[in-house]
Amino acid sequence: MVFKTIIKSGVVMLTNRKEIVISIISFLGVLIIVFAVFGFNNKNRSRVYINSEGETIAVGQCATCHTTATPGIVNQWADGKMVTEGVTCIDCHNADKLKQYGTSEDIEKNLISHNGYEIINKPTPANCNECHNKQVTEFTRSGHAGKSWLSVVGSDAFTETQLKMIKLHHPEKFKKGDFVKHNGLAAVEASQIEGDFAIRLSCKRCHGIGAPNPDMSIGNCSDCHLRHNFSIAQAREPKTCGQCHIGPDHPQIEIWEESSHGVVFRNRADKYNLDKSNKDMRVQDQDAPTCATCHMAGFKGSGFTHDVNSRSAWHLHSSFSTARPGWKIARASMENTCLSCHDEEFVKRHFYNCDKSVQDVNVKNNKGKFWANVLMDTGNRTKAAFDEEIDFVIFDLWHHWGRTAKFGTFMLGADYVQWHGNYELQRDYSHLMDFTKEKIGKEKFIDLKDILDNNKAELLSKYFSGDQLKKYQQILTEIYDYDKIYNDTPLGKDYLEVNVDKNHLEKKQL
Ligand code: HEC
Ligand code: HEC
Ligand code: HEC
Ligand code: HEC
Ligand code: HEC
Ligand code: HEC
Ligand code: HEC
Ligand code: HEC
């Protein structure tokens, strides 16, 4: 009927003025009807949203209302990749897992009745698990989940089931008797000094990547996959890791920035295809490595993983670095990654130098530990944390410089190996020795220094007995008994002989 009128009005248009007016009116009428139909449709088709590139995307009722409630969220969401796969707000924000695994108290605290839906405002790995089981399993196994929260809060924060999960992946963390006391202490002491609110926004903010959730899952994917874009390219960006891996005690981002890897990456990043799925990503898509390339990506058959610990051979952050369980596989897998861009001898030589430098720093850190203990055992230092100047010297010595010197070698930050590493380490060490000399007297100092420098463990009993004596003997053993201490590590004889032609590598250096 409408169309007939249009045709009719078109035909009569030229012959009859009155008809022309009518035809214009009916044409406008049609336009109004078409507009009304479209407009009406738009209102009803609540699953339509246009993203910033003009693409029409289906997202559902939550998104439609949230276009006004929280437009930023909807915009980021509509630009993400998951949206084109039909994943909607409720797929992540549903409360199913909370209802299934949470206690009634947790449910009451976290379930929100919202415009006819039951939702949660903090989706967890349990929500992602439905579709990303591999990533969730690997992440849960990594130091990012569980262990990172244990490091600051201790074991009390977890349920029995969660503790079993953590224990499974980090058995070494449960050997030390009273774990709560051992590791919970850090945050407790810090909050006594700084106040709870500061701790919430510092330690707990970075370490919250591994905090327990009310639905039994552990940790937080959106610390790296920032909401609501969940872009893989953004997760690959080193600054993402640099949110937490920064500062004097773990300056991985600063080291990377100054490394030749960082320089090449920054210079060529606009040529890279950082949004490619891991399945299709090749070295040609990114020819200089980021944090994620070395610690996570699947180049050269290393196997893409969310377990960031799985390629580390050493516990580098420790004052005295020991090898991790399963370090041989870890090292092989890290080397494999390097081999997608470098040749084998180049890589072996690099790791040989790094491993040797771990040993040197171990010795320096342990010498610092020796004097720190002497001060404590002779009553020249209080037991309280950070109440005197010398506490800071002792802490910085291993916790800052003793770490950065090691991180700098592996990740190519020469400045961190030297000026923010070994140089500062030596400065703090001499400061500590001067302080001790002054406190315990010249005679005794010279005697102890001789024992320390020349491994005269038997003379220690002149000054110490019982547990104290054992402690000093242990420190000396770690400094001098290479074969015993480094046997099952990258510095062990077996490993060096089989894997590295040591003489050849040392000669090549010159
Ligand atoms: C009728 C409109 C409407 C609908 C439908 C709607 N929301 Fe909301 N939502 C809002 C408003 C308004 C707020 C409050 C925003 C503010 O505080 O600035 C909100 C808040 C939220 C919050 C934060 C809640 C809190 O207490 O912290 C979440 C999460 C959320 N919505 C998710 C959803 C999800 C998921 C859906 C779909 C299942 C949905 N919304 C459907 C309007 C809506
Ligand atoms: C892929 C999973 C996922 C989808 C899909 C998703 N969200 Fe979220 N949402 C999250 C995560 C994760 C958080 C933050 C958890 C946290 O606090 O760390 C969050 C937090 C929120 C918050 C509260 C925090 C804030 O920034 O205000 C609101 C509101 C919200 N989402 C709304 C939405 C809306 C609306 C949609 C759909 C357009 C949506 N979400 C889709 C995972 C998702
Ligand atoms: C209902 C299923 C579903 C849920 C729930 C879900 N995802 Fe996804 N996600 C997908 C699909 C499908 C893709 C696209 C295919 C792919 O890349 O694997 C995807 C892709 C991704 C990508 C890659 C994006 C890119 O730029 O290539 C990330 C990152 C991601 N999801 C993170 C998450 C996180 C984090 C959660 C939980 C907070 C989550 N997803 C929840 C289905 C889901
Ligand atoms: C929200 C903060 C945060 C972000 C973002 C983050 N990390 Fe971490 N990461 C941590 C914390 C905290 C630990 C220490 C866990 C512990 O206490 O043992 C850690 C540990 C690690 C470790 C293992 C170190 C060890 O001691 O075993 C590696 C490797 C690592 N992160 C790599 C990465 C990479 C690569 C990225 C980026 C893709 C990244 N991290 C992003 C906080 C973060
Ligand atoms: C800027 C983010 C950030 C802040 C703030 C932070 N940490 Fe960490 N922390 C990390 C990262 C990253 C690591 C992993 C370092 C590495 O392995 O190189 C780490 C490692 C640790 C470890 C060593 C874990 C182990 O396995 O031995 C402990 C303990 C720790 N932090 C406690 C704390 C305490 C206590 C606070 C607050 C006083 C704190 N952290 C503040 C990011 C942070
Ligand atoms: C430490 C930071 C970090 C955390 C935490 C993290 N991711 Fe990722 N994720 C990444 C990086 C980096 C990549 C890309 C790795 C690469 O270069 O191939 C990635 C890739 C992905 C992909 C895309 C895989 C593909 O097809 O290429 C998905 C899906 C994903 N993550 C889901 C998750 C889920 C689910 C969680 C939580 C259990 C999570 N991620 C936690 C950093 C992280
Ligand atoms: C060229 C590869 C490469 C790049 C790029 C790289 N790393 Fe590393 N990273 C290593 C190697 C190798 C080690 C030492 C592994 C071992 O213990 O054998 C290491 C050690 C670490 C550790 C110390 C773990 C411990 O034992 O305490 C952390 C944390 C870390 N890297 C995070 C990062 C972050 C964050 C970035 C980016 C800002 C980054 N890495 C960039 C190769 C790399
Ligand atoms: C995606 C490719 C890629 C990966 C993976 C990679 N590198 Fe590199 N590497 C480069 C590029 C590009 C340079 C810069 C070349 C230059 O300095 O001229 C470089 C430089 C270096 C240098 C400095 C060379 C010099 O002459 O100063 C060392 C050492 C190095 N890489 C070691 C490693 C180690 C060890 C790994 C693995 C843990 C690794 N690289 C992984 C691409 C890569």
Query: What is the pLDDT at residue 158?
Result: 87
- Ligand 7 atom closest to Cα of residue 262: 5
User: Hey, what's the torsion of the CAs at 78, 283, 259, 240, to 10 degrees?
Assistant: 20
Residue 120, ligand 2, Cβ within 6 A: no
Q: pLDDT, tens digit, for every residue of 373-425?
A: 999 999 999 988 899 999 999 999 999 999 999 999 999 999 999 999 999 99
Confidence of residue 63 (pLDDT cuts 50, 70, 90): confident
Residue 144, ligand 4, Cβ within 6 A: yes
Asked if 274 and 288 count as a contact pair (C-beta separation under 8 A), the reply is: no
Distance 81 CA to ligand 3 centre (A): 8
- Ligand 6 atom closest to Cα of residue 304: 18
- Ligand 4 atom closest to Cα of residue 148: 17
CB atoms inside a 10 Å sphere around CB 109: 11
Query: What is the pLDDT at residue 318?
Result: 93
∠ Cα 337 343 347 (to 5°): 65
Query: What is the pLDDT at residue 192?
Result: 86
Whose C-alpha lies nearest to ligand 2, atom 6? Answer: 89
Distance 349 CA to ligand 8 centre (A): 12
Ligand nearest to C-alpha 253: 7
Distance CA 26, CA 286 (A): 61
Residue 324, ligand 6, Cβ within 6 A: no
Distance 272 CA to ligand 6 centre (A): 18
Please name which of 353, 366, 354 lies closest in space to residue 452, comparing C-alpha atoms.
366
Average pLDDT over residues 472-488: 93
**What region, left, alpha or beta, does residue 114 occupy, with left being phi > 0 and alpha being psi -120 to 50 degrees?**
beta
Residue 297, ligand 7, Cβ within 6 A: no
Distance CA 250, CA 202 (A): 14
Query: What is the pLDDT at residue 180?
Result: 55
Which of 411, 491, 499 has most ligand 7 atoms within 8 Å of CB, for mutation?
411
Query: What is the pLDDT at residue 49?
Result: 58
Query: What is the pLDDT at residue 120?
Result: 97
> Is the model's pLDDT at 189 over the cut of 70?
yes
Residue 315, ligand 7, Cβ within 6 A: yes
Distance 423 CA to ligand 8 centre (A): 25
Residue 128, ligand 1, Cβ within 6 A: no
Distance CA 311, CA 307 (A): 8
- Ligand 7 atom closest to Cα of residue 334: 12
Residue 306, ligand 2, Cβ within 6 A: no
Which of 230, 277, 279, 304 has most ligand 3 atoms within 8 Å of CB, for mutation?
230
Q: Which amino acid, 411?
A: M
Mean pLDDT of the chain: 86
Whose C-alpha lies nearest to ligand 2, atom 1? Answer: 92
Whose C-alpha lies nearest to ligand 2, atom 19? Answer: 122
Q: Tokens for 195, please give them.
A: 């106040």
> Is the model's pLDDT at 310 over the cut of 80?
yes
Q: Which residues line ligand 5 (CB under 6 A)?
A: 151-152, 186-187, 190, 202-203, 206-207, 244-247, 250, 317
Query: What is the pLDDT at residue 46?
Result: 38
First to last CA, the chain: 94
Ligand nearest to C-alpha 127: 3
Q: pLDDT, tens digit, for every residue of 317-332?
A: 999 999 998 999 999 9
Residue 472, ligand 2, Cβ within 6 A: no
Q: pLDDT, tens digit, for every residue of 80-111?
A: 999 888 888 999 999 999 999 999 999 999 99
Whose C-alpha lies nearest to ligand 4, atom 28? Answer: 308
Distance CA 320, CA 307 (A): 23
Whose C-alpha lies nearest to ligand 7, atom 21? Answer: 407
Please name which of 439, 460, 466, 431 lies closest in space to residue 448, comparing C-alpha atoms.
460
Average pLDDT over residues 267-271: 94
Q: Tokens for 307, please give them.
A: 């377990």
Distance CA 60, CA 77 (A): 12
Distance 78 CA to ligand 8 centre (A): 37
Ligand nearest to C-alpha 208: 4
Whose C-alpha lies nearest to ligand 4, atom 30? Answer: 308
Residue 485, ligand 4, Cβ within 6 A: no
Distance 22 CA to ligand 1 centre (A): 49
Q: Tokens for 102, please give them.
A: 């949470």
> Is the model's pLDDT at 36 over the cut of 50?
no
Confidence of residue 19 (pLDDT cuts 50, 70, 90): low
Which of 224, 308, 312, 321 has most ligand 4 atoms within 8 Å of CB, for mutation?
308
∠ Cα 432 437 443 (to 5°): 150
Distance CA 180, CA 292 (A): 32
Residues 6+ apart with CB under 8 A from 480: 455
Please name which of 137, 62, 59 lies closest in space to residue 94, comparing C-alpha atoms.
62
Residue 147, ligand 4, Cβ within 6 A: yes
Residue 448, ligand 2, Cβ within 6 A: no
